[in-house]
Structure 1
Amino acid sequence: MTIEDQLRERLRKVEALHFGATSAGEREAASAAADRLRAKLDEAARSDPPVEMKFGCDGVDAPRRPRCARVEVLNLTRGRRP
């Protein structure tokens, strides 16, 4: 679990506390904690930007038509076996 995932989970819990609070003091404390967590989450997102990755098979020499290669190796004709 990454740091951002942990912060999001904590933020979700604090927001649940905020909406379930029975007194004004609890709501204010939860709101302040949520603001701090949002600031940490923004800071984490800025310091560790997402990495864009590209995968490909440019250098791999894979057979294009394996069925045709098999026919040539076995010396078969289409639809008939020797």
Structure 2
Amino acid sequence: MNKEKENAVRALKTSKGQIEGIIKMIEDGRYCIDVSNQIVAASALLKKANMLILKQHLNNCVKEAFLHNNGEEKVNEIMELLSRINNK
């Protein structure tokens, strides 16, 4: 596993712990703003993990595809993903 994937896994595991904590906060009737702040923090970690995975994909998969004259398909995949990200 490369550096980007290791960092992504670390961020995902941290966000998993945060999400479990958020669930407990809701079950315990904690203040809504505190819950919302934790959701924002978990969302930021998920975004960070996604960016690390995309960086790895660009540096490896897409690069390799272009070296073998198959890059257009990878570019289309990235564009489709970016379209879904921007529509949120």
Q: TM-score range by the shorter chain?
A: 0.5 to 0.7
Size of the aligned set, in residue pairs, is 52
Deviation beyond 6 Å, 4+ runs, structure 1: none
Q: TM-score, normalised by structure 2?
A: 0.51
Larger radius of gyration: 1
Q: TM-score, normalised by structure 1?
A: 0.54
Q: Which residue is equivalent to 1:23?
A: 31
Alignment gaps of 5+ in structure 1: 53-82
Asked if structure 2 preserves the Cα contact closer than 8 Å seen for 1:4 and 1:45, the reply is yes
Alignment gaps of 5+ in structure 2: 62-88
Quick one: higher RCO (CA 8 Å, sep 6+), 1 or 2?
A: 2
Name the CA distance, whole Å, in 1 between partners of 2:24 and 2:9: 23
Q: Which has the higher helix share?
A: 2
Please, what is the CA RMSD of the aligned residues? 2.1
